[in-house]
Amino acid sequence: MEAFPLARLEEARARIRGAIERTPLVRSELLSERLGVDVRLKCENRQVTGAFKARGALNRLLTLEPAERARGVATISAGNHAQAVAWAASAAGVPSIVVMPEHASPLKVRRSREYGAEVILHGDAAAAFVRVREICRERGLTFLHPFDDEEVVAGHASCGLEICEDVPDAGTIVVPVGGGGLSSGIAAALAASGSNAELWGVEPDGAAAMHESLQVGRAVHLDRVSTIADGLAPPMAGALNYTLLSEIARGVAVVSDEEIVEALATLVYEVGEHVEPSGAAALAALASGRIPFRPGRPVVVVLSGGNAEEADIRALMARYGIEVPATRTRSTSDGS
């Protein structure tokens, strides 16, 4: 943890302050009653560009050398990191390229272009990682890794610092895991601030790279991934992210796509928080009983993103046989 003292994390938070939202952390009466524990929702679905990714992307971009900014940057993403890099780069006047898998969400592709990036669609996630490295070599661009990067982690740690300040008595924090950028950032914040909250990650069972990494004792690459939660589907766990989670997290729980959709329906149509499948994974694990929690202490559930079309949410619910309500809850929270 020497790489992430509190002073460094506070420096990163100060660097991005003003451009990044301090997202709400609200109590859900409905979920608290239903699950038998005090449930607080950290609403990163309301973050700039619709997901937590803006925190790490902006901090990384702002730490580039002037020559790197002048040449431009490139990244790979299923969508949320792509939008964050496009937004941050445009704001700083830096050219950006994002390589996205061919099956990427049309919404996320469109918004990445609207934020100012050149978007290249290429293969699956593994192939897109290879292609972006080639583009960086060909064009002399700086590669911005979506999660396995100290400055990205330091930027995401601002979310963890906010949780520690807003819920100082939190007993458990549950956060979705893709490559591990957000979860390791929160882990760094917990360690640096001296919090004794227990951190749990959550992955889909079709893309459980970090769960497997913790089982075998090293960051692993997966041969294939298959999940509806595109934001949690990189084909590998980040090495830096693995190290932080192996030292600090209690573990990484695994949930099915069906459980994710059930949690998605609850959040969108009962709680009133518009999330994407990735953003519902943490609640899926808590609701399915896979997360142990401390009686009498709040559980913070991180809603990591909200970039999903209403029609796509309804289609997922129909696929898994979940009844679509005629109307949805319009309040932005049921317990704030």
* 51-58: average pLDDT: 97
Say if residue 40 is in the same domain as residue 66.
Answer: no
Q: Can you read off the two tokens belonging to residue 73?
A: 């940057």
Indicate if 164 and 22 belong to the same structural domain. yes
| Residue 244 to residue 187: CA distance in whole angstroms | 7
Residue 17 placed within a domain: yes
Which tens digits make up the pLDDT trace of 287-322? 999 999 998 999 999 999 999 999 999 999 999 999
332 is a domain residue: no
Confidence of residue 12 (pLDDT cuts 50, 70, 90): very high
- 45 and 99 part of one domain: no
Q: What is the pLDDT of residue 335?
A: 44
Query: Whose CA is closest to 259, among 176, 331, 135?
Result: 176
CATH number where 287 lies: 3.40.50.1100
Residue 235 forms part of a structural domain: yes
- The residue from 120, 143, 166 where one domain ends is 143
In a domain, 336, yes or no: no
Answer yes or no: do 130 and 84 share one domain.
Answer: yes
Question: What's the structural domain count of the chain?
Answer: 2
Same structural domain, 224 and 270: yes
C-alpha span between 286 and 263 (Å, rounded): 10
**Identity (one letter) of the amino acid at 89?**
A
Residue 328 confidence (pLDDT):
67
Q: Which of 124, 143, 162 is the last residue of a domain?
A: 143
- DSSP 8-state assignment for residue 37: S
| 226 plus 256 within the same structural domain | yes
Summarised one tens digit per residue, pLDDT across range 100-150 is 999 999 999 999 999 999 999 999 988 999 999 999 999 999 999 999 999
Question: Are 170 and 252 within 8 A, CB to CB?
Answer: no
b/e code 14-41 from CB counts within 10 Å (16+ = b): ebbeeebeebbbbbbebbbeebebbbbb
In this structure, are 170 and 265 located in the same domain? yes
Q: Are residues 139 and 154 in the same domain?
A: no
Note whether 172 and 215 are same-domain residues.
yes
Assess if residue 165 is contained within a domain.
Answer: yes
Same domain, 224 and 112: no
DSSP 252-316: EEEE-HHHHHHHHHHIIIII-----HHHHHHHHHHHTT-S---TTS-EEEEE-B----HHHHHHH
CA 49 to chain CA centroid, Å, is 12
Taking the CA of residue 136 as centre, how many other CA atoms within 13 Å lie in the half-sphere pointing to its CB? 17
Radius of gyration of the chain (CA): 18
**What percent of the chain clears pLDDT 70, i.e. is strictly above it?**
97
Q: Of 143, 171, 191, which residue is a domain's last?
A: 143
Give the integer Cα–Cα distance in Å for 91 and 97. 14
User: Which domain does 187 fall in, by range?
Assistant: 6-51+149-319
Q: Is 28 helix (H, G, I), strand (E, B) or coil?
A: coil
Mean pLDDT of the 54-81 span: 96
| 100, 82 Cβ separation under 8 angstroms | yes
pLDDT digits (tens, 9 = 90+) for 156-209: 999 999 999 999 999 999 999 999 999 999 999 999 999 999 999 999 999 999
Q: Determine the pLDDT at residue 1.
A: 61
User: Domain check: are 68 and 133 in the same one?
Assistant: yes
Structural domain contains residue 42: yes
DSSP alpha helix (H) spans, 72-169: 80-92, 106-114, 125-139, 150-166
The answer to whether residues 229 and 139 belong to one domain is no
